[in-house]
Amino acid sequence: MKYSQLMTQTLREVPSDAEAISHRWALRAGLIRPLAAGIFSFLPLGLRVKQKIENILREEMAQANSHEISMPVVQPAEIWQETGRWNEIGNEMMRMKDRGDRDMCLAMTHEEAVTDLARHLIQSYRQLPLSVYQIQTKFRDEPRSRAGLIRVREFTMKDGYSFHVDQESLDEYYPKMYEAYERAFKRTGLGGSTIAVESDTGMMGGTEAHEFMYLNDGGEDTLLICEKCDYRANRQVATYTRETIGAEDAKPIEEVATPNCKTIEEVAAFLNVPATQTAKAVFFVGLTGGEEKFIFAVVRGDHELNETKLGNAVNAQELRPATDDEIRAAGAEPGYASPIGVQNATIIIDNAIAQGTNFVSGANKEGYHNLNVNTGRDFEADIITDLVAVAEGMPCPNCATNLGSTRGIEVGNIFKLGTNYSKGMNATVLDENGKAQLMIMGSYGIGVGRLLACIIEEHHDDNGIIWPISVAPFQVEIVVLTGKKPAGELEAAEKLYEALQAAGIDVLLDERDERPGVKFNDADLIGIPIRLTVGARGLANGQIEMKLRHESDRSDVALDGAIARVQDEVAKLINGLK
């Protein structure tokens, strides 16, 4: 391809709304252009990278014996209603009506669509296990799209699904997809910086899930990691070794004045008690089954509440903080709240509150707290479960070593869905005894745009992108330096261009009438792995200049040996990703 024919434009200045490194370089290198919030067009260079990533994914899915299909983006409401997710999913789903007044949606994910295929096309256990995947556009109406391709509304996913006759078959296949993901991330240049962690099943449901996280200080997720036993989990689901709680005899409840003490720190200091002996109240309104419910959550004062664990415990599709008016309507007082006497609320408490005794809690009266509040005697909990947001330094749940924390960006996930979808949609097969049974399912996703962005986050310098050769838009860029008195530079460059193409090398020819500085700056921005410079001075000696994007050194190469040298460098770069 010739640069002058590309629909692209590099930018000299960083766009003001681009905070993430990958967003800045993707815009400046002319890979993408925004159309609306969280919606991007891919320009030729960006699309070539995207397609190369997709081809790697296709190869790894083939190795995992998964076969490519394509399912519609526009889907009828009926299949989502069968599983219940039509009412469970909130505003993230883009809903609409067709000309026949039928409810439709833009697919955020394709579990319902693929389960519909399976229930019509799979009849016997002899057809299982079976695995399919697609690389398809999806839409999620994110309220806060950010960081370029990392959090968008329209995106491309490689989503795969497997069907099994029993749990044992799924358990056997799951590691194969896990390994395929590890290979794919290594081949795209993220192998050393991507780890798998235990994760929340979220809206997908199921019994077990792992996220593949690209480790990055700017990541949106906090990960808890044990260096001793390799425990790894997203903070959303992380657990820890809880200390043994020695329960005291319950003491009489006592109301005490605590003027101007609303926070745990203020109350603990005023009453001269440790934060571990206080109860922290947190209020939410949860959307469950289309209805809003007031939720009164209680954790120990030295702990933070984990909203994901809370949402899962009450089966809420959405959570929002309760207003002061909503808190008072339930019979509680903001800043001085207690579960004692509240009405029309789901009371959910952490295990530490249930197991401990004699906590300091609000008195539902401004300026007052209660001493010696106890579960069971003074109030009843609707749900008792783990609500703690695990933090760095807490003991590992496996070996009690202090956990470390880091940040990460999710680039892929795998789920054991079980019968979560096949049950709602009655997707059954006949087993060896001729009896109908629900199919067991797995789900496997990779965000293509997110992966592209993370590759840029990992591979760049102060001048631009440094693409791994496996996903680079081109393997080689030829830069032509044409002097005021042409000495055959363009002709030599075009012959080299044609020879490289004939040798199977992916090459971009920059033959524009631009200053050398502009061309070199653009070459660094775009980040093609190998740069060949054709100029009059080198040609006079039968040479061209070669520079690898990830190195600062340059070398002169004989023009008649350039093809072999390029092939050798390409092979080295490819081998470096294996």
- DSSP per-residue string spanning 401-437: PBPEEEEEEEEEEEEEEETTTTTTTT-EEE-TTS-EE
Judge if 72 and 166 occupy the same domain. yes
Instruction: Identify whether 563 is part of a domain.
Output: yes
Residue 499 is part of a domain; what is its CATH number?
3.40.50.800
Q: Which of 385, 419, 442 is the last residue of a domain?
A: 385
For residue 75, give the 3-state DSSP assignment. Answer: strand
Residue 518 lies in a domain: yes
Residue 40 falls within a domain, yes or no? yes
Region 234-261: mean pLDDT is 89
Rounded Cα distance, 58 and 66, in Å: 9
Q: What is the pLDDT of residues 306-365, one digit of tens each?
A: 999 999 899 887 889 999 999 999 999 999 999 999 999 999 999 999 999 999 999 999
Shared domain for 489 and 426, answered yes or no, is: no
**Residue 422 in domain:** yes
Same domain, 26 and 89: yes
278/381 same-domain check: yes
Question: Cα separation of 410 and 175, whole Å?
Answer: 19
pLDDT at 225: 95
The residue whose two tokens read 């296949």 is 173
Give the model's pLDDT for residue 203. Answer: 52
Mean pLDDT of 405-425: 93
In a shared domain, residues 198 and 275: no
Supply the pLDDT for residue 145. 85
> Does the residue 507 lie in any domain?
yes
174 plus 127 within the same structural domain: yes
CATH number for the domain harbouring residue 270 = 3.90.960.10
CB 209 within 8 A of CB 230: no
| Pairing outcome for strands 359-362 and 232-234 | unpaired
Q: What is the pLDDT of residue 201?
A: 65
For residue 469, is it within any domain?
no
Does this model's pTM top 0.75? yes
Q: How far apart are CA 25 and CA 11, in angstroms?
A: 9
Neighbours of 415 (CB within 10 A): 25
Query: Confidence band (pLDDT; 50, 70, 90) for 18?
Result: confident
User: Is the per-residue pLDDT at 245 higher than 80?
Assistant: no
- The single-letter DSSP state of residue 467 is -
414 shares a domain with 328 = no
Query: Is residue 334, in this structure, part of any structural domain at all?
Result: yes
Contacts of 435 (CB under 8 A, 6+ apart): none
Residue 393 lies in a domain: no
Looking at residue 163, which CATH number applies to its domain? 3.30.930.10
Q: What mean pLDDT comes out for the span 163-167?
A: 95
Q: What is the pLDDT of residue 578?
A: 79
Which structural domain, as residue segments, surrounds residue 234? 3-239+405-457
Please state the separation of Cα 14 from the chain's center in Å. 25
| pLDDT over 90 (residue 76) | yes
**pLDDT tens across 140-157, in order?**
998 888 889 999 999 999
Structure-token match 């993408």, residue found: 32
215 and 280 co-located in one domain: no
Q: What is the pLDDT of residue 365?
A: 93
416 and 381 assigned to the same domain:
no
- What is the rounded distance in angstroms from the CA atom of residue 445 to the CA atom of residue 437? 26
Note whether 347 and 442 are same-domain residues.
Answer: no
Distance CA(216)–CA(220), nearest Å, equals 9
What tens digit of pLDDT does each residue of 181-225 get? Answer: 999 999 999 988 999 998 876 655 556 789 999 999 888 899 999
Task: Please give the residue that has the higher pLDDT: either 116 or 16.
Answer: 116
Decide: residue 573, CB within 10 A, 0-12 exposed, 13-18 middle, 19+ buried: buried
pLDDT given for residue 202 in this prediction:
61
Whether residue 170 has pLDDT greater than 60: yes
Q: Both tokens of residue 313?
A: 């415990």
Tens of pLDDT along 270-308?
A: 999 999 999 999 999 998 777 889 999 999 999 999 999
Answer whether residue 459 shows pLDDT above 60: yes
What is the three-class DSSP state of 162?
Answer: strand
* Tokens (6 digits) for 545: 């200049």
**Mean pLDDT for the chain?**
93
Judgement on whether residues 365 and 435 belong to the same structural domain of the protein: no
Q: Report the percent of the chain where pLDDT is more than 70.
A: 98
Instruction: Output the pLDDT for position 206.
Output: 58
The total of structural domains in the chain comes to 3
Phi, psi of 558 (to 5 degrees): -60, 130
Neighbour tally for 272: CB within 10 Å: 6
Domain's final residue, options 457, 483, 499: 457
Q: What pLDDT does 380 receive?
A: 94
Q: What is the pLDDT of residue 205?
A: 53
My answer on whether 378 and 491 are in the same domain is: no
Helices (H), 347-434: 351-355
- DSSP annotation of 565 reads H
